[in-house]
Structure formats: structure tokens, C-alpha cells
Amino acid sequence: MDLGEFQIPGNSDPNQKTSHLSLDIGGSLIKLVYFSTNDGDNDDELGSSGNESVGVSNGSRSYPVLKGRLHFSKFETRKINDCLDFIQTKRLHLGGCQRLGALPIEKTIIKATGGGAYKYADLFKEKLDICLDKEDEMDCLVAGANFLLKAVHQEAFTYLDGKKEFVQIDQNDLYPYLLVNIGSGVSMIKVEGDGKFERVSGTNVGGGTFWGLGRLLTKCKSFDELLELSQQGNNRVIDMLVGDIYGGTDYSKVGLSSTTIASSFGKAISDKKELQDYQPEDIARSLLRMISNNIGQIAYLNALRFGLKRIFFGGFFIRGHAYTMDTIAVGVDFWSKGEAKAMFLRHEGFLGALGAFMSYEKHGLDDLKVHRLMQKFPMSSLVGDKICSPLNGELNENESIECSVYAS
Amino acid sequence: MANLTEDPVLEINRIKVKEEDTNLAIDNKVVVREEGQGERDMSPPGGNSIHRSGSRPQLDLSKAAIEGNFEEKDPIILLPNQSDDISHLAVDLGGSLIKLVYVSRHEDRSSNDKRKKTLKERLGISNGSRRSYPILGGRLHFVKFETNKINECLDFISSKQLHRGGMDSRWDSELPANNNAVIKATGGGAYKFADLFKERLGVSLDKEDEMDCLVAGANFLLKAIRHEAFTHMEGQKEFVQIDHNDLFPYLLVNIGSGVSMIKVDGDGKFQRVSGTNVGGGTYWGLGRLLTKCKSFDELLELSQRGDNRTIDMLVGDIYGGMDYSKIGLSASTIASSFGKAISENKELEDYRPEDISLSLLRMISYNIGQISYLNALRFGLKRIFFGGFFIRGHAYTMDTISFAVQFWSKGEAQAMFLRHEGFLGALGAFMSYEKHGLDDLMVHQLVERFPMGAPYTGGKIHGPPLGDLNEKISWMEKFVRKGNEITAPVPMAPTGTTGLGGFEVPSSKGETLRSDASALNIGVLHLVPTLEVFPLLADPKTYEPNTIDLADPSELEYWFTVLSEHLPDLVDKAVASEGGTEDAKRRGHAFARAFSAHLARLMEEPAAYGKLGLANLLELREECLREFHFVDAYRSIKQRENEASLAVLPDLLMELDSMSEETRLLTLIEGVLAANIFDWGSRACVDLYHKGTIIEIYRMSRNKMQRPWRVDDFDVFKERMFGSGDRKPPPHRRALLFVDNSGADIVLGMLPLARELLRRGTEVVLVANSLPALNDVTAMELPDIVAEAAKHCDILRRAAEAGGLLVDAMINTLDGSKENSSSVPLMVVENGCGSPCIDLRQVSSELAAAAKDADLIILEGMGRSLHTNYNARFKCDALKLAMVKNQRLAEKLIKGNIYDCVCRYEPAS
């Protein structure tokens, strides 16, 4: 669909190993972005022979270039060992161009962001003998978002009433925008340009709240299971609606329709029903609506405050989940009276990891946009549809972006 | 306290601090009527009839006596508790609480008192025409019931006949029970319980719009009550005085089941601009599912002992204990509410309900604070008032909301809370009556009183209403044990274990915080339309009566100790003043318990009754005495002292008359200061009584007056009186003398000074208390004293005649009428209060009228010139005279010692 063929220049300095893996270790999920060569299977060791090197003239210098793909993977943070195993078996930490058997003596450095970059630094050192080079979370988020919005065709889309609509962003009219990253918590960042941004707000009611409260209330075993449940739920069983208070009529005087939620979980105050008397589906639905709606509202209020017309929502909470996006979008639409639009990013979960990837000194991705603008590597060159689930827009685990990196 | 042990005299002196008071709690009256027994307690002593002025909430005792007589004639009136002319009742029927607001009317009984009549003519007050009062005096009561005990509420309404309000409540036999009685109601229950009200009480509920009511209630409170709003940060309350002209616009955030955010631009001008569905219902609903709590309050209570760090994911949890300082997030900031609950190792039952409750509370409060701030910002509103049932005076909730507002606004916006927050809706419904009479009320016409039950119930009614004094005493006795519990705060987890992150919390004051510690008590609001702002205040807006700020904990503790230690002695006096009967003893004990409970409550939560100054504290004590029908605890002492002093007055006057004018002025001022030592309660004073006569003590004290006094502006005052060189300034036109104690203080101190002013052609108005407070002389007692003094002095006699005092005191003047015109008058006005201190924002209309022509004010005594008004500035000349009979106050205020004197003169500003 929207995979671009990217050419990423490699690093010409033989003493500096450019790793082609970066990490975003969040409170609940670990996100990985890594590069693999074009014809190598994912299971192949990176940098194995057979890569075709293409020299690309880039300004005054010329670098060997590896054609390949950017891969996106995620793990639950509490299952960090799975992640370590994954890295180990794929030998991702050995850098993009390490030849088999040519392990470096010097320390391997991997760019990482997210709180876990601090928390798990020792673990990475111990298990994989690699140093995590900590990149600032916000820097990474913004860099990732800017890259995606500029370089990837059909990255942003709106979602309303179950309809997904891709939005073509004019690169020259991208800034300023509000980036809302919904991880465990929520950060709201006003972005005014490359590297120019400010965290203006946030909320502690985020993905972690959904999953944490949801677990306690429903005994779901995973975040995805909880999301799945919510699809089948009916929040009216638990939420107190305006109509419940006003005897089924609207409180039209203040513009509230009878189906507006007056109080999330407000019906649960009834002493006739206990937790086990409610359907987990309904609970999940109520919770999802409460949190999505709240984020949408706070995001809108912040956008309004700074006069920002575009709000991009990213982060792992969303997961391309239709109802989540719908609720957020409705929230923004409701509070802004249609003035503001909520937009989502296809690679929403990987902003941080992508940003970390881009923080390698010579990652070559910066140049990509140049290529794209020159339409040397048109974004529309599709690579089949194995990647995306068109129904909910979720980024498939196996999705990758074709690109090239500098060979080192 | 160090001072006490060092100086035994001190103890006594402190006692002298007197209290202001005025009103008798409403129930007293009820008692009397019901049982007809009250007359005995109340009948004024020794034929010294107690005049009621109509200008201030009354001691209801006299009325009771009268009605006792009526009872025989007209038994119909004797329905229990029907003593008050109830005019209106409004209810807010919420999901968990029912709030009632009702007014009990009090007739404005014009006194037939001749002194008053003369005074009114002289001052140009004509009862009805000078000013027509929009409403009669009354009392606004705030009462709440739990909704699940709605029958108690109905019983209460029924027994007090509140639903008959506004109609002739005597006898409705001609009307069927289901006549068109209508009660204004708001809240969801107005629909739900309509039938029940109809059935039980025969009244219809007239449903008022919720938002309209909220806004009307909030506007009224913010305009009519001086320190209604307060901020709450880190467990500390601070009352905020809102300038009524600068109230609008503001954001009103009502946190009910859901949350409404209303931009208020004026009376009836508002718009719901936002809201959130994450509100009180969410807290209670989710909380119930997660903790199995049985009630909202239980859930709140749980949160007190919670530690949200076990459930919330903090920035430190993500960053391995480090701050994310780059964007200003500390390690303890909550990154994700309930974020730790994603762990696989723990299930719901593995978490403490306490922790869950706190985590939930903080999540919701913080979220509301944040969204409120964003909306305030959007409309440029600086003030955000939070109300609604979710808050309930709960410290963590308020702290969390405040923190959020402050955090996000970087201190630009302020979260404020309302003392009457639970009653916004009910008040608003009340205001929706066509003629509720509250519109025109001004802030100075409201006096809040805290009846005896306040420390225990916080206004929540349990069980049937208390009918009479006897029931009240029993109730007090019953709750003694409760009272002990109340004084001992519930132990809490020490600060620091309670979590608290970015939305960081609340180490509330001290190490402990009890759930209801922050719950504010709501008193009965007395509506006194005759009260006025003293017109001579230079700047009424900035005027603050209290010199001592009890917000200072050491100050608070000191005064509480003083009052507590004095209590047994006061009880003895009070019991003795009522004849020492068994009944009096029982009432005395009940008073002691009630007042101790007030003190304990205030010690624990100084803001419980609103902004607390020393004057308020002293007044509370007098109120409490009156509540238990102690009309005048110092009655006999005052009488004795007056008699003794009057006996030596002629000698003193003779001595004074032998002096030159200038020497005399100094001697008179010395005399006032010296006589001010006759403070009841001063043990030194009592000892002196045994050693010599009053005149000897007075002379001794006067001789000790070594100028310069600690504060000594006498020379400036003298120059104003006599001028310098040839320049002779004109005498003052009229002087207001705010008098203090009975006995030597008034007779040997202030009266001679008044006489001197009269002699110079200055009209003199003696300003005295409306109701007794300690041994302060009252306006009712003054005419008799003046009459007695006038027997020995022509100047006083003629002036008193001119002022109509002698007629009042039933003195036969043989030749008075001709001379009257030749003398300037000596008059007496009541100040409108019953406290040893005076708040000049709320004085009687007759004092206000007398002040119009005055160009000199003399404030005498500690209560009126030091504890209060020491820093007050006036439009006319002002002289403040007092002997400091308290070491601590002496050090604090004038950097001096006990018995130092203050003679502060400030020319008109």
C-alpha cells in the first residue's frame, strides 16, 4: 500500500558501526525498528552476502547504499526477555553491516528511547553486551512523526463514523501541529518544525489506564483482548447518559442529547449489581469511551489554545483500533464543533523508535525525503498488501518499509 | 504556656477578652414555646428589664415570655416548633444527599423604649421611612439528609412545618390538606420523589432547572458572604475575599455525577461551555466495582489511607526512579493512572482497596482540574470555583484539583472552593421564589452562627429535630463520648507514604489528616437587614477588624488555651447568675461541653467555621452561653461594681472640677486608662477589692500612670482639643464613645470624659453592646447608670435629659424641661453586637445614624481598640484608649509589657 522504496546511504567510516536497530522501551510496550536488506529474508542474518550495493551520490560524498526494509516490531515490556531473545536470534544488535563472525571488539551502541532505556540499560548490557544510547523521548517522537508525515505517502488519515480517509499533507503546510502521543500516559506536543517542539500538556489517563483498569475489571489477559472485547460491548449498561437523568429526554437547553454520556460508569453506583454482574464487554467499552473521549477533549482544548488546526494522534493506545479512533475523533469533533480534525498515523506506535533510529548520525533517512520529493523513489510503488489490515488500519506486525541504508 | 506560669495575673487578664455575640440559637425559642418553661429561665433579673432593640437578632427570651402568655389564649399557635414564621423552604434532591435551605422569619419588634424614641427623633431615624427594608430579619438554615433516609427529612420538614411556609401557618382547617402548597426543588430527585412529597406532606414540588439554581446559588454566596471562597493547597485553606464588583466572569465547575463547566457572566447570565463525563459518578461507580465499598463516603474514607504508587505508574517507574526533568516531570509524577495494574502478577483482589480508591480519586480530580483550567484559559477566566457533591470538603480532592490548576496554569489561575458548596442548588432553588428577599441582602447584613451541634454533625441531621433545651442538653450529654473521639484525630499514614505524584499531594497539615477534618461546618445564616457598615470607616473595603490573626498556629493555640482554662470559672459564674439551681448546673455543664467541642473542632480544623479571628472566637463563646439560656453571666458582678463606683463618683467629679482645663484632660485620660484595669476576671483586680475601696484602687492606678505611655499621642490629642498658642480649635460636634466594662471603667473612666466633652459643647453618644458579653456594660444598662450619675452632676443631668435618657430611666426631673435646650445631648446607642470586640462592618442602624454627624470617635478597652480596630482608620478623629492586660498581646502589638497603656490618636484621614 504505502510502502516506499527507500535508499539509505550507509556509513562510510569503517571505524564507526552504524547499528540498524533502535528501540523505544515504554512502560507497557517495547517497540523495535530495524533494517534488513532487500533480498534477505527476515530470518536471515543481516548483512549477509548478496546485498547489492548501489552507490548514491549525495552531495560531495558518495556512499555505498544498502537496499532493504525498515521493520517494525513490538513486545510487551513485561516480556522483555522475549524481546532480548528476538534481538539475539536475529542478531539485530550487531549492526547493519556486520559480517557473520566479525564481531566487533568495541562496544555496540544502540539508540534507545522511552523510560525503559534507563531502566533496562543494565539488562541489555548484561544479556546482549550492548550499551543503550539514550535518546530523548520527545525528540524521538517528533522526529519520527515529522519523518512519517513528510516521507510516507498516506501516513495520516481521519476516522469518522467508521470511515477511514487518508489525508494528503502538504509538506510546506505541515507545521504547526499538535502531536498527541498516547502511550501508558499521554503527551501533547506542539510541533513547529524539525526539532522545534514543546510539550505543552499531557494527561495521566492514557493507555496504561485503559489496560490497567481494564485488567482489574475484566480479567482480560492482554491489551488486545481487552480492545477486542470492547468491540462487542454496549456502554449504556454502565454509563449514565443524559437521558438517564432527564427521563429519556435531551437536556437541550445546554445542547446535550439524551445519548451523551453524563457520567462514565455512573450507572455502576447502583447497589443492585456487583462487578460480576456486568459483561466484561460492556465494561471494556465504557472504559475505552471514557479514556478516548477524555484524551480527545484535552487534546482539542490544547489545540485550541495554541491555534493548531491539526491534531495527530499516535502511540500504542490506538493500535489502529477503529472504535478508539472513532471516539477520539468524535470527542474532538464534538468539542470543536467540527472545527478541528483528529488525525491518525499508520505507524503511530513507532514514532519513538523511528525517531531513535533517525538519531544515528548517519542513518540516511533524512535524505530520503529528498529522494521522495525528487520522485526518484515514488511512494506509490507498492509492494503488495501483505502488510495492512485494511479494515482497521492497523499496522501489521510484519509490515515493513522498503528503503536503503548506507552500508558501512 | 510560659506566660501563664510566669505571671499569674495574666490568666485573669486573658479572660477579660470578651466575646461578641448576639443571637440566640433558634432552637431556644422553640423550647420555650413548647414547654412554657422557658419564662422562668429567661425572666430578666431584678426587674432590670431587658429591652430588645429591633435592630439586631434578638434574644428570643422575652418573646418567649410573651408568647407564654399568649399560649393560654390561643392554643392553636402552639404547634410544636411552629415558633418561627417559616416563609420558604427549598430542596435539592440529589442522588446521595438531600439539601434543605429554609428561612425562619423573625419579627422586627420595634421597641417602645423611650430612649430609643427620643434617640430616633434626634438622629432623624424614623422607623419605616428612613429606609424601607426589603425583608424582615430572618435566619437561613442549611440542613442535609442522606437521600436513603428521606423519611427523616420528611419528618423534619413536617415537624417544623417548613412546607407550610409563606402561608398562614396557624390553622388551615378550611383548606384541604392538598391545597396548592408548592416547594421549589431541584436535583434529579425532584422528579423521583415528587409523589412521595405529595403523599406525605401534601405539597407539590416545583422543579427548577439545575444550572439556573447552581449559578443563582453561587452568585448569591459569592456576593453575600464575606469569606465564602477559599483556596486549598497542600492541606492549607485560605479564605479569599472576593470584590463583589469584580466577581464576573468566572468559571463554575459543578462536579456531580458528571461535571458541568459553566461560564458565569452575571446574574442569570451564564453558559455551559464544557464538561466531562469523568466525574463523581465515575469515581463512585468505578470505585464500587473495584472495592466493594458500600457508600461514597466509605470510598472517600478509604482513599485517606491509600498509597496510589502501588497502582499508578509514576514517571520514576518508567525512568527507573529518575525525573524526566527536561519537560518538568518529577519522578513522582503520575505518568499513567492505574498503569501498574497491567502487571500480570497481581489481580484485583491483590490490591488494597485503599490504594485503588486513592488512585481513582486522584485520576478524576486531576483530570477535572486540568480540563477546568483549559476552559478557563480559553475564555480568559482567572477564577475557577469548584462545587458539587463530589468534593464534600475532602482535602485530597481539593488539593488534587488545586494542584492540577496550578500546575497547568503555572500559578496563573486559581482553584477556589465554596464553604456552602453542597448547597448551591438548594440555595438557587430558594432564590427562584418570586419573593425570596435575598436579592437585596448585603454582605454586612449577614451574620453566621454556629449552633452547639456544629462540631459533631457538621450540619447533617440525624434523627428527629431537637425540640427544646432539655433535648439539646440530653443530646450534648449523649454525645460527650463522641466529642472525645472528635478531639482525637484518626491516626493516618504519615506524610510521604501517601503517594503522590505529580499531581503531588497533599501532605496536609501536620502528619495526620482525618477524613472529615476538612469538612467545613455550615452555620445558620442570620439575616439582619438593620445592620450597616459603620459609615466613618476610612476604607470599608480593606478594613479588617481582627488585629490578631489566628491563622498563626501558635496564636491559635495560645487563645484556645486561654479560653479552655477560663471555662470552669465562666461556668461557675454563669450558673451562679441563674441562681445556682440544679437546672442551671445542668445547663452549665452542657454549655461547657458544647463550647469545648467547638474549641476542639477549631483546634483540629481552624478553618472549620470559615475565616477565624479572635473576635469570632470570643463571640462564639457568648453565643454558646446564650444558646443554653445564660442571659447575662456577669449580671450581679456588674451591678455590684456599678453601685460601688457610683458611690465614689461625686468625690472624683469634685476633684476633677478643681483642676485646670488642661490638667483635667490629662487626668481624665489617665482616669480612663486607669479605670480600664477594672476588668472583670483580672485576679489582680479581685485582690484589690479586698484591699481597698474602688476609689482608692482607681487613684492608685491613676497615679501609676507614668507618661509617656507605651503608645502616647496625648499631646497631639491635647492640641486638637485646646489648640496651640492663640489658635483655639472649635470643639468637636459629636463624639462617639465606644465603652467597655461596667463598674469603674464606665462610671469613673468614660462618664467623666463624656462629661468633659459635654461641657465643651460636644454632643456625646455612648455606644454600648446590644447584648451582654462578659462584664461589658450594655446599652440597656447605661440609662440607669447615667441617671444615677446625673443625680450628682448638673452637666450630666441636663445632657441626659436632652438626650432623653432620664425619661427612659424613669427619673423624675423636677425642672428639666426648660434647661434641656441649653445643653448638648448625651445619648446612648447600641452597637448591634454582643461581643467584647466589634466588627465595624456590621453595626446597628442607630449607631450608623449617630455616626453621620460625628467627628470624634473614642474606642476604649482591649476588645474594641486592640483585639479589633487597632489598625482601623477613620474618616474623623479617632482616639484609642486601652490598658494592655495581657503580656502576650503587649509584646506582640506594642512591644511592651502587661499594664502598659495605649493612647493612640489619629486625626481624620
B134-164 pLDDT, tens per residue? 334 677 888 888 777 888 888 888 877 777 6
In a domain, B492, yes or no: no
Q: What's the gap in Å between the CA of A251 and the closest CA on chain B?
A: 10
A203's grid cell: 494527561
In a domain, B836, yes or no: yes
Q: What's the gap in Å between the CA of A112 and the closest CA on chain B?
A: 13
Q: Strand B414-418 relative to strand B383-387: parallel, antiparallel, unpaired?
A: parallel
Q: What span, in angstroms and rounded, lies between the C-alpha atoms of B154 and B200?
A: 7
Return the higher-pLDDT residue of B820 and B265. Answer: B265
Residues 298-317 of A with CB under 8 A from B: 298, 301-302, 304-305
Put simply, the answer to whether B279 touches A217 (Cβ < 8 Å) is: no
pLDDT above 60 (res B655):
yes
In a domain, B339, yes or no: yes
Q: Which of B494, B529, B564 is the last residue of a domain?
A: B529
Lowest-pLDDT choice from A259-268, A332-341, A383-392, A397-406: A383-392
| Residue B396 shares a structural domain with residue B347 | yes
Confidence of residue B680 (pLDDT cuts 50, 70, 90): low
B694's grid cell: 474602688
Nearest residue in chain B measured CA to CA from A122 = B320
Residue B236, beta-bridge partner list: B233
Q: What's the gap in Å between the CA of A3 and the closest CA on chain B?
A: 33
Taking all residues of chain B, what is their mean pLDDT, rounded to a whole number?
Answer: 75
Taking each continuous run of H as one helix and of E as one strand, the counts in chain A are 11, 17
In a domain, B566, yes or no: no
pLDDT for position B325: 65
| Residue B436 shares a structural domain with residue B400 | no
Q: What's the gap in Å between the CA of B433 and the closest CA on chain A?
A: 21
Hey, do A7-139+350-406 and A207-238+278-345 end up sharing a CATH topology, with the first three levels equal? yes
* Residue in B256, B335, B377 nearest the CB of A185: B335
Q: What span, in angstroms and rounded, lies between the C-alpha atoms of B770 and A367?
A: 89
* CATH number of this structure's domain A207-238+278-345: 3.30.420.40
| Residue B304 shares a structural domain with residue B335 | yes
Put simply, the answer to whether B371 touches A305 (Cβ < 8 Å) is: no
Within 10 A of A267 (CB to CB), how many other CB atoms are there? 22
Which helix H or strand E contains A203, and what residues bound it?
A: strand A196-203
Residue of B318, B330, B366 to mutate, interface with A, max A Cβ within 10 Å: B318
> What is the domain range of residue B765?
635-906
pLDDT above 50 (res A384):
no
Nearest residue in chain B measured CA to CA from A276 = B289
Structural domains in chain B (count): 3
Could you tell me how many CB contacts below 8 A there are between chain A and chain B?
A: 204
Q: How does pLDDT run across B95-129, given as a tens digit for each residue?
A: 777 888 888 765 444 444 555 666 666 665 544 33
In a domain, B589, yes or no: no
Q: How does pLDDT run across B300-334, given as a tens digit for each residue?
A: 888 888 898 889 988 777 766 666 666 666 777 88
Q: How does pLDDT run across B552-584, given as a tens digit for each residue?
A: 888 888 888 888 888 998 999 899 999 899 999
What is the complex's ipTM, to 2 decimals?
0.77
Check if A278 contacts B (Cβ < 8 Å): yes
Domain boundaries, chain A: 7-139+350-406, 207-238+278-345
Q: Strand B138-146 relative to strand B97-105: parallel, antiparallel, unpaired?
A: antiparallel
Put simply, the answer to whether B342 touches A137 (Cβ < 8 Å) is: no
User: Contacts of residue B378 in chain A, CB cutoff 8 Å?
Assistant: 301, 304-305
The radius of gyration of chain B's CA atoms, rounded to the nearest angstrom, is 29
pLDDT above 70 (res B19):
no
pLDDT for position A393: 35
* Residue B180's CATH number: 3.30.420.40
pLDDT for position B757: 96
Confidence of residue B748 (pLDDT cuts 50, 70, 90): very high
* Residue in B342, B366, B371 nearest the CB of A204: B366
Return the higher-pLDDT residue of B495 and A321. Answer: A321
pLDDT for position A67: 66
User: Contacts of residue B281 in chain A, CB cutoff 8 Å?
Assistant: 240, 262-266, 269
Put simply, the answer to whether B285 touches A267 (Cβ < 8 Å) is: yes
Nearest residue in chain B measured CA to CA from A201 = B408
Q: What's the gap in Å between the CA of A265 and the closest CA on chain B?
A: 5
Average pLDDT for residues B733-746, to the nearest whole number?
94
In terms of CATH, what superfamily is A7-139+350-406? ATPase, nucleotide binding domain (3.30.420.40)
Q: What span, in angstroms and rounded, lies between the C-alpha atoms of A225 and A215?
A: 10
User: Contacts of residue A209 in chain B, CB cutoff 8 Å?
Assistant: 336-339, 363
Q: Strand A186-193 relative to strand A177-182: parallel, antiparallel, unpaired?
A: antiparallel
Average pLDDT for residues B414-436, to the nearest whole number?
84
Residues 59-98 of A with CB under 8 A from B: 78
pLDDT for position B22: 32
Q: How does pLDDT run across A69-94, given as a tens digit for each residue?
A: 788 888 888 888 999 988 888 777 76
User: Contacts of residue A260 in chain B, CB cutoff 8 Å?
Assistant: 277
Sequence-separated (6 or more) residues with CB below 8 Å from residue A49: none
pLDDT for position A244: 77
Task: Report how far apart the first and last C-alpha atoms of chain B are (Å, whole number).
Answer: 40
In a domain, B615, yes or no: no
Average pLDDT for residues A149-174, to the nearest whole number?
84
Q: What span, in angstroms and rounded, lies between the C-alpha atoms of B596 and B615?
A: 17
% pLDDT > 70, chain A: 69
* Residue in B257, B326, B342 nearest the CB of A211: B342
| Residue B210 shares a structural domain with residue B298 | no
Put simply, the answer to whether A275 touches B319 (Cβ < 8 Å) is: no
pLDDT for position B113: 54
Nearest residue in chain B measured CA to CA from A138 = B327
Return the higher-pLDDT residue of A97 and B662. Answer: B662
pLDDT above 70 (res B765):
yes
Average pLDDT for residues B580-593, to the nearest whole number?
90
* Residue in A185, A255, A293 nearest the CB of B336: A185
Q: What span, in angstroms and rounded, lies between the C-alpha atoms of A277 and B250?
A: 43
User: Contacts of residue B374 in chain A, CB cutoff 8 Å?
Assistant: 201, 298, 301-302, 305
| Residue B372 shares a structural domain with residue B282 | yes
| Residue B199 shares a structural domain with residue B237 | no
pLDDT above 60 (res A406):
no
pLDDT for position B814: 47
Confidence of residue B689 (pLDDT cuts 50, 70, 90): low
Q: What span, in angstroms and rounded, lies between the C-alpha atoms of B451 and B461?
A: 13
Put simply, the answer to whether B342 touches A247 (Cβ < 8 Å) is: no
Q: Are B605 and B518 in contact (CB under 8 A)?
A: yes
Residues 193-232 of A with CB under 8 A from B: 199, 201, 203-209, 211-213, 215-217, 219, 223
| Residue B836 shares a structural domain with residue B898 | yes
Residues 104-163 of A with CB under 8 A from B: 114-116, 118-119, 136-138
| Residue B346 shares a structural domain with residue B303 | yes
pLDDT above 70 (res B33):
no
% pLDDT > 90, chain B: 30
Give me the count of residues in chain A: 408
Grid cell 474618616 — which residue?
B875
* Residue in A28, A114, A264 nearest the CB of B342: A28
Confidence of residue B682 (pLDDT cuts 50, 70, 90): low
Q: Strand A177-182 relative to strand A310-314: parallel, antiparallel, unpaired?
A: parallel
Nearest residue in chain A measured CA to CA from B257 = A263
Q: What's the gap in Å between the CA of A195 and the closest CA on chain B?
A: 15
Q: What's the gap in Å between the CA of B321 and the closest CA on chain A?
A: 8
Side chain identity, residue B302 = L
Lowest-pLDDT choice from A97-111, A132-146, B491-505, B705-719: B491-505
Return the higher-pLDDT residue of B499 and B183. Answer: B183
pLDDT for position B441: 65
Side chain identity, residue B635 = R
Q: What span, in angstroms and rounded, lies between the C-alpha atoms of A365 and A64?
A: 14
Q: How does pLDDT run across A279-316, given as a tens digit for each residue?
A: 999 999 999 999 999 999 999 999 999 998 889 998 77
Residue of B96, B208, B278 to mutate, interface with A, max A Cβ within 10 Å: B278
**Alpha-carbon torsion, ordered B742, B744, B745, B749, to 10 deg:** 140
Return the higher-pLDDT residue of B392 and B595. Answer: B595
Side chain identity, residue B605 = E
* Residue in A26, A254, A261 nearest the CB of B277: A261
* Residue B762's CATH number: 3.40.50.10880
In a domain, B500, yes or no: no
Q: Are A333 and A342 in contact (CB under 8 A)?
A: yes
Q: At what angle do helices B694-704 and B683-691 cross, to 10 degrees?
A: 120
Return the higher-pLDDT residue of B56 and B759. Answer: B759
Return the higher-pLDDT residue of B724 and B42. Answer: B724
Q: What span, in angstroms and rounded, lies between the C-alpha atoms of B236 and B518?
A: 9
Put simply, the answer to whether A118 touches B319 (Cβ < 8 Å) is: yes
pLDDT for position B177: 44
The closest of A229, A300, A297, A289 to A261, measured between CA atoms, is A289
Put simply, the answer to whether B370 touches A298 (Cβ < 8 Å) is: yes
Taking all residues of chain A, what is their mean pLDDT, rounded to a whole number?
Answer: 74
pLDDT for position B86: 46
pLDDT for position B733: 95
User: Contacts of residue A223 in chain B, CB cutoff 8 Å?
Assistant: 342
Confidence of residue A64 (pLDDT cuts 50, 70, 90): low
Confidence of residue A9 (pLDDT cuts 50, 70, 90): very low
pLDDT above 80 (res B716):
yes
Confidence of residue B12 (pLDDT cuts 50, 70, 90): very low
| Residue B388 shares a structural domain with residue B312 | yes
pLDDT for position B843: 92
| Alpha-carbon separation of residue B408 from A58, A200, A310, B186, B504 (angstroms) | 46, 9, 22, 34, 13
Within 10 A of A129 (CB to CB), how many other CB atoms are there? 11
Lowest-pLDDT choice from B330-334, B671-675, B691-695, B732-736: B691-695
| Alpha-carbon separation of residue B622 from A126, B556, B582, B628, B774 (angstroms) | 76, 18, 21, 10, 8
* Residue in B282, B315, B344 nearest the CB of A263: B282
Q: What's the gap in Å between the CA of B242 and the closest CA on chain A?
A: 28
Q: How does pLDDT run across B525-549, given as a tens digit for each residue?
A: 777 778 889 999 999 888 999 998 8
Confidence of residue B76 (pLDDT cuts 50, 70, 90): very low
In a domain, B723, yes or no: yes
User: Contacts of residue A265 in chain B, CB cutoff 8 Å?
Assistant: 281-282, 285-286, 289
Residue A22, beta-bridge partner list: A33, A111
User: Contacts of residue B263 in chain A, CB cutoff 8 Å?
Assistant: none
Q: How does pLDDT run across B637-654, given as a tens digit for each residue?
A: 899 889 988 988 998 999
pLDDT above 70 (res B70):
no
Q: Are B737 and B765 in contact (CB under 8 A)?
A: yes
Q: What's the gap in Å between the CA of A396 and the closest CA on chain B?
A: 23
Q: How does pLDDT run across A237-270, given as a tens digit for each residue?
A: 999 887 777 666 666 666 667 778 889 999 888 7
Q: How does pLDDT run across B766-804, given as a tens digit for each residue?
A: 999 999 998 899 999 999 999 999 998 999 999 998 888
Q: How does pLDDT run across B265-281, given as a tens digit for each residue?
A: 998 899 989 899 999 99
Q: How does pLDDT run across B392-412, given as a tens digit for each residue?
A: 778 888 888 898 888 888 888
| Residue B116 shares a structural domain with residue B65 | yes
Q: What span, in angstroms and rounded, lies between the C-alpha atoms of A353 and B314?
A: 21
Nearest residue in chain A measured CA to CA from B312 = A209
Grid cell 420538614 — which residue?
B157
